[in-house]
Amino acid sequence: MRFALFFLSVVLVAGSFSALAKMYKWVDEDGQMHFGDRIPEKYLVREHQELNDRGVVVKHNEAAKTAEQKAEDKRLEKERKKAALIEKKKKQRDRVLLDTFTTERDLIAARDARLDAVDAQIKLADSIIADSAKKIESMEQRVVKIQTSNREVPLDLYQRIDNAKKQVAIQSEVRKNHEKRRDKIATQFDGYIKRFKVLKAEQKAKREQLERERDF
Number of domains observed in the structure of the chain? 2
CB 86 within 8 A of CB 185: no
Q: Which residues contact 36 (CB under 8 A, 6 or more apart)?
A: 23, 24
In a domain, 125, yes or no: yes
Mean pLDDT of 13-39: 68
CATH number at residue 165: 1.10.287
Q: Of 33-37, 53-57, 137-141, which has the strongest mean pLDDT?
A: 137-141
Same domain, 110 and 199: yes
Same domain, 61 and 138: no
Same domain, 55 and 108: no
At residue 54, the pLDDT reads 74
User: How many Cα atoms within 13 Å fall on the side-chain side of residue 169?
Assistant: 6
At residue 129, the pLDDT reads 97
* pLDDT tens, position by position, 160-182: 999 999 999 999 999 999 999 99
For residue 103, pLDDT over 60 is answered with yes
For residue 10, pLDDT over 50 is answered with no
Of 50 and 14, the one with more pLDDT = 50
Same domain, 192 and 144: yes
* pTM of this prediction exceeds 0.95: no
Same domain, 123 and 44: no
In a domain, 177, yes or no: yes
Neighbouring CB atoms inside 10 A of 125's CB total: 20
- Phi, psi torsion values for 27, nearest 5 degrees: -120, 135
Q: Which residues contact 22 (CB under 8 A, 6 or more apart)?
A: 37, 50, 51, 52
In a domain, 143, yes or no: yes
Same domain, 137 and 57: no
Q: What is the DSSP string of 173-192?
A: HHHHHHHHHHHHHHHHHHHH
Locate all alpha helices (DSSP H) within the chain, ordered by sequence: 2-20, 67-100, 104-148, 155-215
In a domain, 97, yes or no: no
Please state whether beta strands 23-27 and 48-51 pair in parallel, antiparallel, or not at all (unpaired): antiparallel
For residue 130, pLDDT over 60 is answered with yes
In a domain, 28, yes or no: yes
pLDDT band at 95 (very low <50, low <70, confident <90, very high): very high
Closest CA to 62 of 73, 40, 47: 47
At residue 9, the pLDDT reads 44
In a domain, 15, yes or no: no
In a domain, 25, yes or no: yes
Same domain, 115 and 199: yes
In a domain, 195, yes or no: yes
Same domain, 172 and 119: yes
Give the domain range for residue 39: 20-67
pLDDT band at 63 (very low <50, low <70, confident <90, very high): low
